Amino acid sequence: MRSDQVLPEVVIKFAGDSGDGMQLTGSQFTNNTALLGIDLATFPDFPAEIRAPIGTVPGVSGYQLRFSSDRIFTPGDASDVLVAMNAAALKVNLKTLKAGGIIIANIEGFDSKNLRLANYPEGVNPLEDHSLDSYQLIKMDVTKMTREALKDFTMGMKEKDRAKNMFVLGFLYWMYNRDMENTIQFIKEKFGKKPEIFESNIKALQAGYNYGDTTETFTTRYKVEKAKMEAGTYRSIMGNQALSYGLIAAGQKSGLPLFLGSYPITPASDILHELSKYKNFGIKTFQAEDEIAAIASSIGASYGGNLAVTTTSGPGMALKAEAMGLAVMLEIPLIIINIQRGGPSTGLPTKTEQSDLMQAYYGRNGECPMPIVSASTPSDCFGAAYEAVRISLQHMTPVILLSDGYIANGAEPWKFPSAAELQEIKVSYASQNNASDLDANGKFQPYKRDERLVRPWAIPGTPGLEHRVGGLEKQDVTGNISYDTENHQHMVKTRQKKVDLIAEHIPEQKLDSGAEKGKVLVLGWGSTYGTIKSACKELQDKGVEVSHAHLRYIRPFPKNLGDIIKNFDHVLIPEINNGQLVKIIRDVYFVDAKAYNKIMGIPITKAELVDEINKLIA
What's the rounded Cα separation, in Å, for the pair 28 and 187?
10
Residue 158 makes CB contacts below 8 A (sequence gap 6+) with none
Pairing of strands 553-555, 372-374: antiparallel
Residue 591 pLDDT greater than 90, yes or no: yes
Q: What is the pLDDT of residues 205-253, one digit of tens each?
A: 999 999 999 987 777 899 999 998 888 888 999 999 999 999 999 999 9
Q: Give the Cα separation of 353 and 372 in Å (integer).
A: 17
pLDDT range class, residue 198, cuts 50, 70, 90: very high
Mean pLDDT along residues 547-552: 98
Cα separation of the two ends of the chain:
51
Digit-coded pLDDT (tens) for 60-76: 999 999 999 999 999 99
User: Could you tell me the pLDDT band of residue 18, with boundaries at 50, 70 and 90?
Assistant: confident
Mean pLDDT, range 130-143, rounded to an integer: 95
Cα separation of 152 and 277, whole Å? Answer: 38
Q: Is 553 helix (H, G, I), strand (E, B) or coil?
A: strand
Average pLDDT in the 347-355 region?
95
Backbone angles phi and psi of 9, in degrees to 5: -165, 160
**Banded model confidence at residue 479, pLDDT cuts 50, 70, 90:** very high
Question: What pLDDT does 468 receive?
Answer: 81
pLDDT > 80? residue 567: yes
Which residues lie below 8 Å from residue 23, measured CB to CB, with a gap of 6+? 44, 46, 61, 63
Range from 123-127, 260-264, 429-433 carrying the lowest mean pLDDT: 429-433
pLDDT surpasses 70 at 23 = yes
pLDDT at 243: 98
Q: What is the pLDDT of residue 448?
A: 94
Q: What is the pLDDT of residues 314-324, one digit of tens each?
A: 999 999 999 99
Alpha-carbon distances, residue 302 vs 133, 286, 518 (angstroms): 63, 14, 46
Mean pLDDT of the chain: 95
Mean pLDDT of the region 437-449: 89
Cβ-contact 61, 47 below 8 angstroms: yes
Model pLDDT, residue 232:
84
Q: What count of other Cβ atoms lies within 10 Å of the Cβ of residue 426?
A: 11
Mean pLDDT of 422-444: 87
Alpha-carbon distances, residue 434 vs 160, 456, 608 (angstroms): 69, 10, 58
- Sequence length of the chain is 618
pLDDT-derived band at 2, boundaries 50, 70, 90: low
Dihedral over alpha carbons 245, 379, 187, 277 (to 10 degrees): 10
Nearest to 263 by CA among 272, 252, 255, 253: 272
| Bridge partner residues of 60 (DSSP) | 17
Q: How would residue 191 be classed by pLDDT, with cut points 50, 70 and 90?
A: confident
Q: What is the CA radius of gyration of the chain?
A: 27
Q: Give the model's confidence band at 192: pLDDT under 50 very low, under 70 low, under 90 confident, else very high.
A: confident
Distance CA(128)–CA(122), nearest Å, equals 13
Phi/psi for 236 (5° steps) reads: -80, 135
Reported as a pLDDT band with limits 50, 70 and 90, residue 289 is very high
What's the confidence (pLDDT) of residue 269? Answer: 97
Contact criterion met (CB below 8 Å) for 98 and 119? no
d(CA 172, CA 321): 48
Greater pLDDT, 411 or 50: 411
Q: Which amino acid is at 600?
A: M
Reading phi first (left if > 0) and then psi (alpha if -120 to 50, else beta), residue 23 is in alpha
Average pLDDT of span 28-56: 89
Output the pLDDT for position 473: 97
AA identity, residue 461: G
Structure confidence at residue 442 (pLDDT): 86
- Around Cβ 36, how many Cβ atoms within 10 Å? 18
State the pLDDT confidence band at 435, using cuts at 50, 70 and 90.
Answer: confident
Give me the pLDDT at residue 437, please.
79
Q: Who contacts 246 (Cβ-Cβ below 8 Å, separation ≥6)?
A: 381, 382, 383, 384, 385, 386, 389
Who's near 579: CB < 8 A, 6+ residues apart? 573, 595, 597
**Band of residue 452 on the pLDDT scale cut at 50, 70, 90:** very high
Give helix then strand counts, H and E, for the chain.
20, 22
Query: Cα separation of 147 and 138, whole Å?
Result: 19
Instruction: Band the pLDDT of 1: cuts 50, 70, 90.
Output: low
Q: Once rounded to an integer, what is the mean pLDDT over residues 469-485?
A: 95
Identify the bridge partners of residue 444 per DSSP, sorted by sequence position: 438
Share of the chain above pLDDT 90, in %: 89
Sheet arrangement for strand 307-312? 284-287, 258-262, 307-312, 334-340, 398-404, 372-374, 553-555
pLDDT average, residue stretch 281-287: 96
Alpha-carbon distance of 22 to 18, in angstroms, equals: 7
pLDDT average, residue stretch 433-460: 90
* Angle, CA 358 vertex, CA 332 and CA 565 arms, to 5°: 100
Cβ–Cβ < 8 Å for 93, 83: no
